[in-house]
Structure 1
Amino acid sequence: MLRPYERAVYYYETDKMGIMHHSNYIRIFEETRIHFLSEAGMPFPDIEAQGILMPVLSVECGYLRPLRFGDTFTVELRITDFNGVKLGVEYTVCNKATGEVCAKGRSWHCFTDGELKPLRIKSRYPAIYSIFADNMEH
């Protein structure tokens, strides 16, 4: 099991109500994906250096409890769908101090070359394929 992503809410991420603005959760999902790849031994810059892009096809987030400036949160990432062409990821954001689930989300991605043409990574990039396949929940 890979370590969850963890950090504190920055002041600039909060809104007039003093809570993390909803748009920042989508950024946190991206930070979590980058963290996951580094933890799994395949930093995102190494993937891009091989000419592979992972554009977002869709993203959604449900907000359950607010996070405030200075709150430390963790994000658990689960790969729920993967076939070598498309990738589905789920996220659970928790307040570290209280353990409360603050948000849940999901994103869908595909693998493309630099011209955004779809790639099947299983045979051409087996090390990258295995990072996702080996960490997918069954």
Structure 2
Amino acid sequence: MSKTRPRRESAFDASTSLRSHDSPLRVRYCECDPMGVVHHANYAIWFEMGRTEMLRSQGGNYRDLEAAGRFLVVVDLAIRFKQPARYDDELTLTTHLLEASRARLRHGYELKRDATLLSMATTSLACVDADGNLQEVPIGSD
């Protein structure tokens, strides 16, 4: 009898979001394979863009965090693909802040083309110093 691994779900309940931010995206040619479908590696880049834009919309930025000796590192990423994104699609990436604790942040993401959900994901980030020691997140949760 073979053992099956439990499936890692990246689904989340957006109604529990502490805050959210929408980022418009247009799929570029360089993000696609020869069939015009977005390569899966680009989704992680888009989610990082969503986190960065959310932080910027709240008056912060990664440059200031890093200058203060704080770094937000991804410790977990789970993506669920529903439908492919294709070349020249106009997309909306909604980034949700789901949890904010002393040293960690958890985000959820929904990528849509119009009303069609293409993918959902979650990331967990740890706040560390330059030596990799856990630090307090210098961002409020409100």
Question: Which of the pair is proportionally richer in strand?
Answer: 2
Identify the residue that residue 58 of structure 1 maps to in structure 2: 76
Unaligned 5+ runs, structure 1 = 122-127
Q: For the residues of structure 1 that align with 2:98 and 2:88, how far apart are their CA atoms?
A: 31
Identify the residue that residue 129 of structure 1 maps to in structure 2: 139
Identify the residue that residue 131 of structure 2 maps to in structure 1: 115
Q: For the residues of structure 1 that align with 2:21 and 2:135, how far apart are their CA atoms?
A: 29
Question: Which of the pair is proportionally richer in helix?
Answer: 1
Identify the residue that residue 101 of structure 1 maps to in structure 2: 117
Residue type of the partner of 1:38? R
Change (3 A) 1:2 1:107: closer
Query: What is the CA distance between 1:104 and its match in structure 2?
Result: 0.2
Query: What is the CA distance between 1:86 and its match in structure 2?
Result: 1.2
Unaligned 5+ runs, structure 2 = 1-18
What SS does the corresponding residue of 1:12 show, helix, strand or coil? helix
Q: Using structure 1 for the length normalisation, give the TM-score.
A: 0.84
Deviations 1:81-134 (A, max 9, x none): 221211111000011xx321110001011000111111123xxxxxx321xx11
Deviations 1:70-89 (A, max 9, x none): 11111111111221211111
RMSD: 1.3
Q: Is the 8 A contact 1:2 1:40 kept in 2?
A: no
Residue type of the partner of 1:110? A
Per chain length, whose mean CA-contact separation is higher, i.e. which structure has more relative contact order (CA < 8 Å, sep 6+)?
A: 2
Identify the residue that residue 81 of structure 1 maps to in structure 2: 99
What fraction of aligned residue pairs are identical, expressed as a percent? 23
Q: Using structure 2 for the length normalisation, give the TM-score.
A: 0.82
Query: What is the CA distance between 1:3 and its match in structure 2?
Result: 4.2
Change (3 A) 1:2 1:120: closer
Moved beyond 2 Å, runs of 4+: none
Q: How many positions carry a matched residue from both structures?
A: 124
Query: What is the CA distance between 1:23 and its match in structure 2?
Result: 1.0
